[in-house]
């Protein structure tokens, strides 16, 4: 095996997305500061004290762990700025380690009713961006004008740091992907109203809910594209992407008639709009979406990929989407934190055997690398992707 | 099935409220009304098992049931229904995910269990204390994060230390929970499906009664 270069890595990832057989299965860990800090003996709260210096992609701490693990084929770089995140991700109460919860617990999002029925009416009237520009600062307890000025100033710095981040990874020999994420309208409302209240809304006032989503979708798309372009991921070794956060609209929660009306039309609109702009959508399907997978055949083939978290049946999905899109996944969080490296290796080999056959697999984890993963288990994922190559001819 | 039971099973919120008002108005006792509501919840469970209903319908029926209980509770005699199996439930220490746990708690109440919901981020000791206090025979723990596995294990260990382990059955639930987690924590069962959890608890309760 010849040594990897940025070109071999990029070719491998591109082949997988394009559903062509790569030289071997690409691997990518969605790593963030949580595992990095725990592994390096630091507290989760240290990250929040050090914001910006800490374990983000591109920091020296992150790069250390990345190298110790042996590195992977492409790296995340360039996301949403604060203001964009405020608008494209759900408004929820956040409990920060060292502040609201003990020093070494993981950050958590508290699900309480943040948006009410009155807010529905306002969103219908003014659209999502205008609504959130006013609502979000108030929800956090700030004056909107003061907050806006502050985060606009911060955005300049945040954006200025993105390009060098990408260039640094490229210099180190790794292609990057990035451009931030966006919640689907259903996911946004489900988390901001609470899943229980929102579900009742879907059964009691479906037309109102649809009107809200109709008032959101174009704003979400426009800002997503703008933010992705501003993040500047591109050039020969940068893949502009947009993660679409879909975690609650699937068969785990809803019958297809709800998915067909309240999730899929908006998802389709997003994917098509992003693809038209040269952006690769990453559909972040946490929880079980097995029932919904056939619908993805209606999306532009080989122009997006999906990320599964071990709850969706990845083997069935492969059969359904063999000619549609690449699948990233799906080593389970419990396996990474409690399993042995032999168990992890065996599961990864099964994925490569079945899902990786003919291409179309990026070995990975669902949502994010668990804070308490065993190092040897993560390493095993990477080693298996490199060394186990049953399809190579 | 009575009109009330099927109104609940069909998720007809207003009809349920109207019938309850009528029945209580014409002197029917609230225990009888509750029995009909429970039959409705059982029917919802049947439809879920057959794949006709989804989690969303469990949620909506649970909310209708909860609203109905608000009307019934003031007139329900405390021990009107005979001894019900007691379940202590909560989301474990270090974890604040409430939705899955809330759904299960509501469904358990819906089919007649006496549920002690300790809320979220529940310390190990609180589970043990509640079991001692109520003499509950079933403990349900919820968790969605990998560090919660340790909290679950600690809780099972503490039940052992308190000499309660052979008196209670323990079930763990949540989207990350697998057989591996069950083995690690020493729980008796695991599930990532509320209705399956209710079925397991029903079986345990039938055996012990
Ligand atoms: C929606 C979601 C989110 C939402 C909001 C969730 C919230 N309220 O906090 C958002 C986007 C904010 C989010 C954020 C994060 N998330 Co998240 N999220 C999810 C997701 C997709 C669904 C969780 C959910 O709402 N389920 C809905 C309820 C109804 O389902 P449930 O809880 O499983 O309960 C059902 C059953 O399990 C059962 N049940 C539950 N408890 C019990 C108890 C008993 C006794 C019984 C019988 C049954 C039972 O009954 C319920 C009904 O059927 C899960 C994926 C998954 N596979 O579970 C990840 C998941 C929980 N998240 C995960 C992660 C990593 C995160 C983040 C840390 C990521 C980050 N970027 O920082 C953050 C922070 C965590 C947090 N929540 O505080 C991981 C956790 C595992 C880990 N790595 O530790 C998961 C498992 C995804 C994954 N596979 O990696 N998340």
Nearest-angstrom CA–CA distance, A391 and A24: 8
Tens-of-pLDDT digits for all 393 residues of chain A?
A: 568 999 999 999 999 999 999 999 999 999 999 999 999 999 999 998 876 544 566 688 899 999 999 999 999 988 899 989 999 999 999 999 999 999 999 999 999 999 999 999 999 999 999 999 999 999 999 999 999 999 999 999 889 888 888 999 999 999 999 999 999 999 999 999 999 999 999 999 999 999 999 999 999 999 999 999 999 999 999 999 999 999 999 999 999 999 999 999 999 999 999 999 999 999 999 999 999 999 999 999 999 999 999 999 999 999 999 999 999 999 999 999 999 999 999 999 999 999 999 899 999 998 899 999 999 999 999 999 999 988 765
Position A59 scores a pLDDT of: 82
Render pLDDT for B95-137 as a digit per residue (tens, 0 to 9). 999 999 999 999 999 989 999 999 999 999 999 999 999 999 9
Q: Candidates A367, A368, A373, A374: which one to mutate for ligand 1, based on the most atoms within 8 Å of Cβ?
A: A367
Lining residues, ligand 1, CB within 6 Å: A 92, 106-109, 111, 191, 195, 247-248, 286-287, 309, 311, 333, 366-368, 370; B 55, 89, 97, 99-101, 103-104, 140-142, 144-146, 171, 173-176, 191-194, 197
Q: Which secondary-structure segment (H or E) carries A201?
A: helix A195-204
Confidence tier at B78 by pLDDT (50, 70, 90): low
- Taking an 8 Å cut-off on Cβ atoms, the answer to whether B176 and A373 are in contact is no
pLDDT of residue B49: 95
The span from the CA of A61 to the CA of A1, in Å, is 29
Cβ contact, residue pair A332, B176, below 8 Å: yes
- Of A131, A144, A126, A151, residue with least CA distance to A87: A131
Cα A368 to Cα B176: distance, rounded to the nearest angstrom: 13
Q: What is the pLDDT of residue A2?
A: 66
Are B160 and B197 contained in the same domain? Answer: yes
Which tokens sit at A82? 């604060």
Nearest CA to ligand 1 atom 51: B100
SS3 B97: coil
User: Do B75 and B90 reside in the same domain of the chain?
Assistant: no
Of B56, B79, B102, the last residue of a domain is B79
Share of chain A above pLDDT 70, in %: 97
Shortest distance, CA B173 to any CA of chain A (angstroms)? 13
Closest listed residue to residue B7, CA positions, set B60, B50, B74:
B60
**What's the gap in Å between A382 CA and the centre of ligand 1?**
26
Q: List the structure tokens of B29.
A: 């006792």
CB-CB contact of A119 with A111 (8 Å): no
Distance, in Å, from the CA atom of B161 to the CA atom of B43, rounded to the nearest integer, reads: 40
Please tell me whether the peptide bond between A34 and the residue prior to it is cis, using omega within 30 degrees of 0: no
Instruction: Work out which ligand 1 atom sits closest to the CA atom of B148.
Output: 84
Spatial separation of the C-alpha atoms in residues B119 and B113, rounded to whole Å? 17
Residue of A96, A105, A330, A371 to mutate when probing chain B, most B C-beta within 10 A: A105
Question: Cβ contacts (< 8 Å) between A199 and chain B: which residues?
Answer: 56, 59-60
Nearest-10 Cα torsion for A181, A84, A37, A331: -10
pTM of the model: 0.95
Q: Which residue, judged by its Cα, is nearest atom 71 of ligand 1?
A: A368
DSSP secondary-structure letter at A280? E
Euclidean distance between CA atoms A246 and A182, whole angstroms: 9
**What is the tens place of the pLDDT at every residue in A285-303?**
999 999 999 999 999 999 9
Q: Phi first, then psi: what are they for B166, rounded to 5°?
A: -85, 0
What is the Cα–Cα distance from A60 to A172, expressed in whole angstroms? 13
Percent of chain B with pLDDT over 90: 85
- Same domain? For B150 and B109 the reply is yes
Candidate from B147, B181, B184 with C-beta closest to A371: B147
- The mean pLDDT value of chain B amounts to 93
Distance (Å) from CA B78 to ligand 1 centroid: 36
Question: Which CATH number covers residue B14?
Answer: 1.10.1240.10
Pairing of strands A326-331, B114-117: unpaired
Do B62 and B156 fall within a single domain?
no
Query: With an 8 Å Cβ cutoff, are B54 and A199 in contact?
Result: no
The CATH number of whichever domain residue B186 belongs to comes to 3.40.50.280
Residue B192 with chain A: CB contacts under 8 Å = 311
Q: What are the Cα distances from residue B160, in Å, to B118, B128, B168, B169, B170?
A: 20, 10, 10, 12, 11
Q: Is the pLDDT of residue B80 over 80?
A: no
Distance A344 CA to ligand 1 centre (A): 22
Task: Tell me how far CA of residue A277 lies from CA of A281, B2, B57, in angstroms.
Answer: 11, 57, 39
The alpha-carbon gap from A254 to the nearest alpha carbon of chain B, in Å, equals 6
Q: What is residue A78's predicted lDDT score, i.e. its pLDDT?
A: 86
Chain A residue with minimum CA distance to B53: A255
Of the three residues B79, B108, B137, the one that is the final residue of a domain is: B79
Å from CA of A181 to ligand 1 middle? 18
Partner A contacted by B176 (CB < 8 A): yes
In B32-147 the beta strands, taken as DSSP E runs, fall at 86-91, 114-117, 138-142
Buried b or exposed e, range A85-118, using 16+ CB within 10 angstroms: bbbbbbbbeebebbeebeebbbbbeebeebbeee
- The per-residue pLDDT for range A198-248, each reduced to its tens digit, is 999 999 999 999 999 999 999 999 999 999 999 999 999 999 999 999 999
Q: How far is the CA of A287 from the centre of ligand 1 (A)?
A: 8
Q: Which of A101, A202, A337, A370 is most worth mutating to test chain B (most B CB atoms within 10 A of its CB)?
A: A337
- In which band, very low, low, confident or very high, does the pLDDT at B185 lie, cut at 50, 70 and 90? very high
Residues B69 and B92 in one domain: no
Pairing of strands A108-110, A93-95: antiparallel
The reply to whether residue B54 touches residue A287, judged by beta carbons under 8 angstroms, is no
pLDDT at A58: 63
Chain A positions in Cβ-Cβ contact with residue B184 (cut-off 8 Å):
338
Residues B167 and B90 in one domain: yes
pLDDT at B106: 93
Q: Are residues B10 and B56 both part of a single domain?
A: yes
Q: What is the DSSP string of A73-108?
A: S-EE-----HHHHHHHS---EEE-BTTTB-TTSPPE
pLDDT value of residue B175:
95
Q: Which atom of ligand 1 is nearest to the CA of B193?
A: 53
Are B148 and B202 members of one domain? yes
B139 and B170 belong to one structural domain: yes
> Does residue B70 share a domain with residue B113?
no
Are residues B151 and B135 located together in one domain of the fold? yes
Distance from A194 to chain B by nearest Cα, in Å?
8
Residues of chain A in contact with residue B92, where contact means CB-CB under 8 angstroms, are none
How many Å apart are CA B181 and CA A289, to the nearest integer? 22
Q: Which domain holds residue B24?
A: 3-79
Angle between helices A206-231 and A185-193 (to 10 degrees): 110
What ipTM was assigned to the predicted interfaces of this complex?
A: 0.94
Q: With beta carbons less than 8 A apart as the criterion, state whether B65 and B107 touch.
A: no
All domains in chain A, ordered by first residue? 6-80+163-387 (3.20.20.210)
Q: Do B118 and B195 have their domain in common?
A: yes
Name the residue of chain B whose CA is nearest to A257's CA. B54
Chains A, B: CB pairs < 8 Å: 80
The encoded tokens of residue A37 equal 């800090």
Domain count, chain B: 2
Residue where one domain finishes, among candidates B45, B79, B113:
B79
């Amino acid at each position: 095996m010849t040594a990897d270069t940025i070109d071999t890595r990029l070719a491998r990832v591109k082949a997988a997305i394009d559903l062509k057989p790569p030289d071997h299965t690409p691997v990518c860990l969605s790593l963030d500061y949580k595992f990095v800090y725990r592994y390096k003996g630091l507290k989760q709260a240290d990250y929040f004290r050090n914001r910006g210096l800490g374990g983000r992609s591109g920091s020296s701490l992150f790069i250390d762990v990345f190298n110790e693990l042996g590195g992977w084929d492409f790296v995340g770089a360039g996301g949403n700025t604060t203001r964009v995140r405020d608008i494209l991700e759900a408004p929820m109460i956040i409990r920060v380690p060292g502040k609201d919860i003990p020093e070494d617990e993981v950050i958590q999002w508290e699900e309480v009713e943040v948006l009410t029925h009155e807010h529905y009416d306002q969103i219908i009237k003014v659209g999502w961006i205008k609504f959130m520009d006013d609502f979000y600062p108030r929800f956090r307890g700030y004056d909107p004008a003061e907050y806006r000025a502050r985060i606009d100033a911060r955005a300049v710095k945040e954006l200025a740091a993105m390009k060098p981040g990408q260039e640094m990874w490229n210099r180190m020999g790794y292609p990057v992907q990035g451009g931030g994420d966006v919640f689907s309208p259903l996911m946004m409302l489900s988390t901001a109203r609470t899943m229980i209240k929102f579900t009742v809304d879907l059964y009691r006032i479906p037309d109102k809910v649809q009107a809200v989503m109709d008032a959101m979708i174009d704003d979400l798309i426009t800002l997503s594209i703008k933010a992705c372009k501003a993040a500047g991921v591109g050039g020969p070794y940068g893949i502009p992407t947009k993660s679409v956060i879909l975690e609650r609209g699937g068969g785990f929660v809803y019958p297809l008639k709800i998915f067909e009306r309240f999730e899929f039309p908006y998802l389709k609109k997003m994917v098509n709009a992003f693809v038209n702009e040269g952006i690769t959508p990453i559909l972040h399907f946490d929880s079980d979406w097995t029932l919904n997978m056939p619908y993805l055949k209606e999306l532009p083939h080989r122009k997006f990929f999906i990320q599964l978290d071990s709850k969706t049946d990845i083997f069935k999905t492969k059969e359904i989407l063999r000619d549609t899109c690449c699948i990233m996944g799906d080593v389970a969080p419990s396996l990474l934190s409690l399993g042995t490296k032999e168990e992890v290796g065996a599961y990864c080999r099964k994925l490569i055997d079945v899902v990786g056959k003919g291409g179309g697999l990026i070995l990975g984890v669902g949502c994010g690398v668990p804070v308490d993963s065993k190092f040897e288990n993560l390493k095993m994922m990477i080693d298996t992707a490199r060394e186990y190559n049953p399809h190579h001819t | 099935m009575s009109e009330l039971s099927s109104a609940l099973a069909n998720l007809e919120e207003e009809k349920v409220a109207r019938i309850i008002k009528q029945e209580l108005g014409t002197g029917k006792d609230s225990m009888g009304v509750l029995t009909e509501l429970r039959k409705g919840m059982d029917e919802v469970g049947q439809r879920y098992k057959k794949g006709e209903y989804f989690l969303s319908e469990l949620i909506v029926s649970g909310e209708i049931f909860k609203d109905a209980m608000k009307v019934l509770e003031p007139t329900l005699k405390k021990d009107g229904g005979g001894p019900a199996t007691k379940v202590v439930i909560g989301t474990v220490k270090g974890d604040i995910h409430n939705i899955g746990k809330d759904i299960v708690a509501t469904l358990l109440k819906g089919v007649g269990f006496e549920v002690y919901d300790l809320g979220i981020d529940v310390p190990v000791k609180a589970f043990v204390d509640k079991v001692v206090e109520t003499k509950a025979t079933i403990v349900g723990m919820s968790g969605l994060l990998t560090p919660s596995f340790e909290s679950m294990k600690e809780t099972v260990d503490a039940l052992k230390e308190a000499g309660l382990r052979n008196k209670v059955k323990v079930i763990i639930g949540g989207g990350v929970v697998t057989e591996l987690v069950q083995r690690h924590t020493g729980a008796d069962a695991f599930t990532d499906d509320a209705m399956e959890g209710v079925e397991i608890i029903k079986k345990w309760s039938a055996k012990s009664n």
